[in-house]
């Protein structure tokens, strides 16, 4: 958390002004379908009977150790206490905001012991979810918003028992849900974050909140083996992933959204047993979901031409950096392509025993997909991204119209390239791929309005 000045000019017309905030409130009131009086209570969700006779429960639980809410509140609390403390004495009875019961996993509150902080967070969340399960109406699902990225920093994830990385924040939240006998039945990615918020600047912060839809797990839920769990995921995750991509979910959100379909499989069982008879932990399930997600994305490479598949493999390991010719040739033989052909296709430079993929700014300025004798999805994606960066959505739409049926495959490649960049820690390279996919609905709509270019049909 980085501090900055919070003050705004309250008499201006910009964000933070009184008139601007009042206008937003008026718009919400005008658009709201609610017509009944609401009651707002400040209660402890884990220990009070605050949800009796609830029709539906929707919650945005704390994000593990990602935000110190009470610590942030102190910045404003001390001034509010001085200015209106005598008017609202029941709200300002302490010198600083209360912190002992705050449901966050801050190690500093436990003399730096992460395990104690994690246990406090997980136990408190389980108590809250258990009470929700007892009191919410069975005709409606319980929904939980969660926008915690799986790997914000190296400190936010740990290695599972089989060496794969998992998010501690996601693990503790899902562990509490499942131990409260909830089952995940759906995933709703909801675009909730503004692109201009400070958290998004120069980062691949999430653009969406992931809404997990939950219902009480049946008492008759079956037991499954690890093999059953993996088979069910490999059967169901590809279709779920296709639906998310068709819904134009941002690549930065794809890994988080895939947790839902994966946990829907895991949580439908009363327990999943490992080969040694022990119960599989949520940590292991999360790692397996991430592994199968990567497998599914890799399988989508079957839609690409051989040159593009070679470029993807090379890019995964080298990016746009220089590599040895011999290593490139070995990979080319495995992909059944030739280095000379890759050079002729206009995506590779090879000289002095070294090779490298051409960067977007090095590509030809007069490329035409309809006349390219060795068309590759890789170069189409790079040309489209360069056009989008230089000319915006209008220019990108012109090129998409010329790409015709290849356009959807180019979009698919953008997802894959983002995944590689994110896994390799190439945040600066990942951003443009993410932005292109987010803008795709607008680009596609503009492209559809363009006149179709005449195409030369083959003669019989």
Model-level pTM greater than 0.85? no
- Helices 427-438 and 377-403 pack at an angle, to 10 degrees, of 20
Hey, where are the domains in the chain?
39-67+104-299, 304-448
Task: Output the pLDDT for position 39.
Answer: 77
Query: How many Å apart are CA 60 and CA 125, to the nearest integer?
Result: 12
Task: Output the pLDDT for position 377.
Answer: 93
Residue 216's DSSP bridge partners are: 182
393: left (phi over 0), alpha (psi -120 to 50) or beta: alpha
Query: Tokens standing for 439?
Result: 């803008």
Phi, psi of 88 (to 5 degrees): -115, 65
Task: Output the pLDDT for position 446.
Answer: 92
Task: Output the pLDDT for position 166.
Answer: 54
Identify the DSSP state of 353: T
For residue 124, CA distances in Å to 75, 157, 180, 210, 282 come to: 26, 21, 11, 21, 17
Residue 166's DSSP bridge partners are: 158
CB 64 within 8 A of CB 148: yes
The list of the chain residues with pLDDT below 50 reads 150-157, 159-165, 195-205, 455-460
Task: Output the pLDDT for position 348.
Answer: 92
Query: How many Å apart are CA 370 and CA 25, to the nearest integer?
Result: 52
Strands 208-216, 182-191: pairing kind = antiparallel
Task: Output the pLDDT for position 398.
Answer: 92
89: left (phi over 0), alpha (psi -120 to 50) or beta: alpha
Give which of 307, 304, 321 is closest to 415, Cα–Cα.
304
- Residue 305, SS3 per DSSP: coil
């Amino acid at each position: 958390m980085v501090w900055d000045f919070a003050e705004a000019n309250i008499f201006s017309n910009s964000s933070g002004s009184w008139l601007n905030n009042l206008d937003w409130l008026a718009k919400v009131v005008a658009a709201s379908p609610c017509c009944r009086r609401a009651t707002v209570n400040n209660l402890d969700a884990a220990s009070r009977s605050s949800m009796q006779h609830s029709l539906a429960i929707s919650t945005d639980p704390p994000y593990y150790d990602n935000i110190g809410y009470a610590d942030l509140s102190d910045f404003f609390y001390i001034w509010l206490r001085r200015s209106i403390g005598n008017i609202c004495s029941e709200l300002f009875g302490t010198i600083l905001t209360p912190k002992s019961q705050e449901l966050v996993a801050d190690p500093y509150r436990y003399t730096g012991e992460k395990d104690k902080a994690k246990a406090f967070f997980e136990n408190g969340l389980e108590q809250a979810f258990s009470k929700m399960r007892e009191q919410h109406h069975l005709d409606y699902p319980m929904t939980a918003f969660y926008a915690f990225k799986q790997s914000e920093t190296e400190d936010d994830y740990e290695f599972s028992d089989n060496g794969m990385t998992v998010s501690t924040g996601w693990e503790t939240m899902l562990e509490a849900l499942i131990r409260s006998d909830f089952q995940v039945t759906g995933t709703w990615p909801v675009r909730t974050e503004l692109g201009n918020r400070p958290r998004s600047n120069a980062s691949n912060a999430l653009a969406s909140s992931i809404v997990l839809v939950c219902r009480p797990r049946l008492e008759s839920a079956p037991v499954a083996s690890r093999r059953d769990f993996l088979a069910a995921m490999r059967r169901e995750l590809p279709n779920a992933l296709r639906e998310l991509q068709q819904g134009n979910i941002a690549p930065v959100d794809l890994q988080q959204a895939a947790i839902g379909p994966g946990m829907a499989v895991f949580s439908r069982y009363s327990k999943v047993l490992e080969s040694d008879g022990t119960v599989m932990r949520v940590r292991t399930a999360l790692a397996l979901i991430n592994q199968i997600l990567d497998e599914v994305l890799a399988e989508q490479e079957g839609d690409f031409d051989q040159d593009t598949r070679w470029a993807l493999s090379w890019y995964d390991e080298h990016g746009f950096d220089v590599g040895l010719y011999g290593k490139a040739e070995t990979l080319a033989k495995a992909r059944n392509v030739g280095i000379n052909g890759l050079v002729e296709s206009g995506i590779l430079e090879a000289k002095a025993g070294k090779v490298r993929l051409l960067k977007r700014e090095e590509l030809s300025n007069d490329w035409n997909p309809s006349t390219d004798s060795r068309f590759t999805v890789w170069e189409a994606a790079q040309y489209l991204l360069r056009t989008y960066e230089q000319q915006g959505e209008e220019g990108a739409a012109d090129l998409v119209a010329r790409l015709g049926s290849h356009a959807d495959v180019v979009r698919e490649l953008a997802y894959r390239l983002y995944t590689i960049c994110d896994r390799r820690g190439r945040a600066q390279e990942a951003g443009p791929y993410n932005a292109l996919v987010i803008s795709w609905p607008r680009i596609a709509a503009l492209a559809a309005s363009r006149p179709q270019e005449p195409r030369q049909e083959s003669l019989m």
